[in-house]
Amino acid sequence: MRLLALSGSLRARSSTGAVLRSALDLHQGPATTADIGALPHFNPDLDGEDATPPPPVAALRTAAAAADAILVVSPEYAHGVPGVLKNALDWLVSSGECVDKPVAVITASPFPTGGDHANAQLRETLRMMSAEVVPAACREIPAIGPKTDPATERVTDEATLADLRAALSHLTTGPASAPA
Ligand SMILES: Cc1cc2nc3c(=O)[nH]c(=O)nc-3n(C[C@H](O)[C@H](O)[C@H](O)COP(=O)(O)O)c2cc1C
């Protein structure tokens, strides 16, 4: 199963990036990440039937179309979704690559809440896009800081790694296998 992974953090040594990399290490199959920081701001004028999408948008859409499932990993900013990630999803609304595609939303935060606001908002947006959000594959990871190693840029906490493995299993086997 081919995964497309999107990170909501552009920060170097990002804890979100560590979660994403560890998840991809655990994934038993091909995977790609999209450089959503290169996307222009979404503008419907650039998104019409007669418009040629800017190259980074075309690349994102090609990667999304080629994926069997999508993994979204994100921090939470001001109780919301980072703008760069919402922007990427906006570019995928009308083009339709997410329709009926299994998606996992994983948020991570230094706080006990695990980015619950951003997680709920991302799920809502993806559902509106007709993606197949897989509840059992979604996670809100609290107190992420000490669970990662900045040197390897990976998750080191064994319980979190086991939970990521379980989440990926639910994502790649589909919603029918998982309780809501
Ligand atoms: C502008 C800003 C707003 C933030 N707002 C929240 C928030 O509402 N909830 C939360 O859990 N963390 C919040 N944080 C903390 C981030 O979760 C934290 O910086 C996290 O490490 C960012 O992820 P990263 O390491 O992948 O860049 C905020 C951070 C910044 C810079």
Give the model's confidence band at 28: pLDDT under 50 very low, under 70 low, under 90 confident, else very high. Answer: confident
Residues with CB under 6 A from ligand 1: 9, 11, 14-16, 75-79, 109-111, 113, 115
For 18-79, the three-class secondary structure string (H helix, E strand, C coil) is: HHHHHHHHHCCCCEEECCHHHCCCCCHHHCCCCCCCCHHHHHHHHHHHHCCEEEEEECCECC
Task: Compute the average pLDDT of residues 6-28.
Answer: 97
Task: Compute the average pLDDT of residues 113-134.
Answer: 98
**Which of 32-41, 85-94, 137-146, 169-178 has the weakest average pLDDT?**
169-178
Structural domains of the chain, with CATH: 3-174 (3.40.50.360)
The atom number, within ligand 1, closest to the CA of 74 reads: 26
Q: Dump pLDDT digits (tens) for 34-49.
A: 999 999 999 999 998 8
Choose among 170, 177, 147, 146: nearest CA to 160: 147
Six-digit token pair at 46?
């650039």
pTM to 2 decimal places: 0.95
In angstroms, the CA 63 to CA 34 distance is 7
Q: Ligand 1 atom 9: the closest Cα is on which residue?
A: 76
Q: Dump pLDDT digits (tens) for 144-156.
A: 999 999 999 999 9
